[in-house]
Chains A and B, each alone.
Chain A
Amino acid sequence: MSRVRVLAGTRKGAFILTSDGKRDKWEVSGPHFAGWEIYHLKGSPADPNRLYASQTSGWFGQIIQRSDDGGKTWHQPGTPPGEAPAPGPPKPASNKFVYDASAETGKPLTTHQWYDGTQHAWEFKRVWHLEPSLKDPNTVYAGVEDAAIFRSTDGGENWKELPGLRGHGTGPNWQPGAGGMCLHTIILDPSNAQRMWIAISAAGAFRTDDGGKSWKPINRGLRSQYIPDPNAEIGHCVHHIAMNPSRPGVLFMQKHWDVMRSDDAGDNWKEVSGNLPTDFGFAIDVHAHEPETIYVVPIKSDSEHFVPDGKLRVFRSRTGGNEWEALTKGLPQKDCYVNVLRDAMAVDSLDKCGVYFGTSGGQVYASADAGDSWNPIVRDLPAVLSVEVQTLP
């Protein structure tokens, strides 16, 4: 029987939640890396036992952790615990993220726009998102703050920026959102190894069609009232993008405000907020088997980061947007004021599709019936930053 493994990153460590295919009884492992912020952890589609985790601290900076046994043991790539250091020069450091300033890039950017509109030096702060390759367990992408994308091809031991993103021309106009200037979304195209999408708060969405050498903004149709030109090419605070792997050209976006969809790989977007009670939010995902079924968790506003009316409701559209239904069975419908962050929702690929999300209140909820009903796997974790799911044989 299939199993599922839920990877939850929290403000104070990582937790691994496992169950069989029924998804009604769960084992909880953790905290791993207790006391550290775990922005994201994700497994390799090519080797489910290969997991990567982003461990960060305002005091001690960035750490990358890797597991080769499904999360039972972890080590920093290149520095296995207990191993004596090799003689000679220091080994590569798995937490060394250095922006590319080489002449070959043509445009080694050094500044972006700051909150007050002045230019500000690009400074590495943390890894927000790790996206393992679909084919190679040793290849993994990292979306970082200040916004850039890095790639490792040796299991996380060394990282190299793909500088064409920052260098394509609009970088000096990118600016941080409230959470910092983060590259938080990376989507790989299963039908085209040269194509991927990324999103940055607050710059917008970008796509490469040549394996990351060059990038272009794909924000046509987005409209943001908080920037001088609401229809500008860049400057939009895209919160998250989701895609069903069976339809790589169709993308769904939760923008700061507005839920959007694109049917042409991001070249054009249209709003599909429809009858949502509020179209502000962070998380969005797509049903594993029904590519027109999407999920969001509306949040009251950008000033009040909690669910509206004290009710935790997932909204589901079976029509690719515009028409939404509230999913409430098993979720608190009174006095609830949690948030659900951008990387804190995921789906499994079982039948029926499982849907999972984590909250700022430390709950991880699971639905084993595509959202019709929900149960908390855990109720009292630290604030949840990210949720990923692996469907295991």
Chain B
Amino acid sequence: MIRVILPQHLRTLAHVGSEVQLEVAAPVTVRSLLDALEARYPMLRGTIRDHVTQQRRPFLRFFACEEDLSHESPDAPLPDAVASGKEPLLIIGAIAGG
């Protein structure tokens, strides 16, 4: 199972706790992970990436295994530790505004 940690406001929207677990077919990428996340929690569509362009919303970042993956290709394989469920993918809201 792939583990994803959501920011507080998206947990509220999706009615979940901090971490959700998803079945994602290999290869596990940001795109396939978000596809699975949005299929399981359709209320999150449009909140992480744009409906039309599929671009990551600018104030969100993707971290995993102590690395910033925000600017990697959405089709690049995620680290093995994420694909195996050992480590979560963190979706982080930028700290902005004070």
**B8: Cβ under 8 A from any A Cβ:** yes
**In chain B between 35 and 55, which residues have their CB closer than 8 angstroms to a CB of chain A?**
38-43, 45-48, 50-52
Residues on the B chain within 8 Å of A76, using CB: 13, 43
Q: How far is the CA of A36 from the CA of B7 in the complex (A)?
A: 13
Q: How far is the CA of A76 from the CA of B43 in the complex (A)?
A: 7
| Contact (Cβ within 8 A) A60 B9 | yes
> Distance in Å from the Cβ of B27 to the closest Cβ of chain A?
21
| Contact (Cβ within 8 A) A93 B9 | no
Q: How far is the CA of A35 from the CA of B94 in the complex (A)?
A: 15
**B5: Cβ under 8 A from any A Cβ:** no
Residues on the A chain within 8 Å of B74, using CB: none
> Distance in Å from the Cβ of A244 to the closest Cβ of chain B?
38
Residues on the B chain within 8 Å of A62, using CB: 46
Residues on the A chain within 8 Å of B93, using CB: 59-60
From the candidates B10, B51, B96, name the one contacting A60 in the complex (CB within 8 A): B10
Q: How far is the CA of A356 from the CA of B29 in the complex (A)?
A: 51
| Contact (Cβ within 8 A) A91 B42 | yes
Residues on the A chain within 8 Å of B42, using CB: 78-79, 85, 90-91, 93
| Contact (Cβ within 8 A) B52 A85 | no
| Contact (Cβ within 8 A) B9 A79 | no
Q: Report the interface size class on chain A.
A: 20 to 34
| Contact (Cβ within 8 A) B51 A90 | no
**In chain A between 66 and 122, which residues have their CB closer than 8 angstroms to a CB of chain B?**
76, 78-79, 81-82, 85, 90-91, 93, 95-96, 98
Q: A81-B43, A93-B51, A96-B51 are in contact. Are A58 and B59 (CB under 8 A)?
A: yes
Q: A35-B9, A81-B15 are in contact. Are A61 and B52 (CB under 8 A)?
A: no
Q: How far is the CA of A57 from the CA of B43 in the complex (A)?
A: 15
**A63: Cβ under 8 A from any B Cβ:** yes
| Contact (Cβ within 8 A) A59 B60 | yes
**B86: Cβ under 8 A from any A Cβ:** no
Q: How far is the CA of A34 from the CA of B47 in the complex (A)?
A: 16
Residues on the A chain within 8 Å of B10, using CB: 60
Residues on the A chain within 8 Å of B57, using CB: 59-61
| Contact (Cβ within 8 A) B13 A98 | no
> Distance in Å from the Cβ of B84 to the closest Cβ of chain A?
25
Q: How far is the CA of A93 from the CA of B51 in the complex (A)?
A: 9
Residues on the A chain within 8 Å of B12, using CB: 33-35
Q: A59-B60, A59-B94 are in contact. Are A93 and B46 (CB under 8 A)?
A: yes
Top 7 nearest A-B pairs (CB, nearest first) are A60-B47, A59-B59, A79-B43, A59-B93, A95-B46, A96-B51, A79-B42
Q: Using A34-B12, A60-B57 as known contacts, list a sample of 10 further A-B pairs with CB atoms less than 8 Å apart, ordered by residue number in A.
A: A35-B8, A35-B12, A36-B9, A57-B9, A59-B7, A59-B57, A62-B46, A76-B13, A91-B42, A95-B47
- Give 18 A-B contacts (CB < 8 Å), ordered by A residue: A36-B9, A57-B9, A58-B59, A60-B47, A60-B60, A61-B50, A61-B57, A63-B43, A82-B15, A85-B39, A85-B42, A90-B45, A93-B42, A93-B45, A93-B46, A93-B51, A95-B46, A96-B45
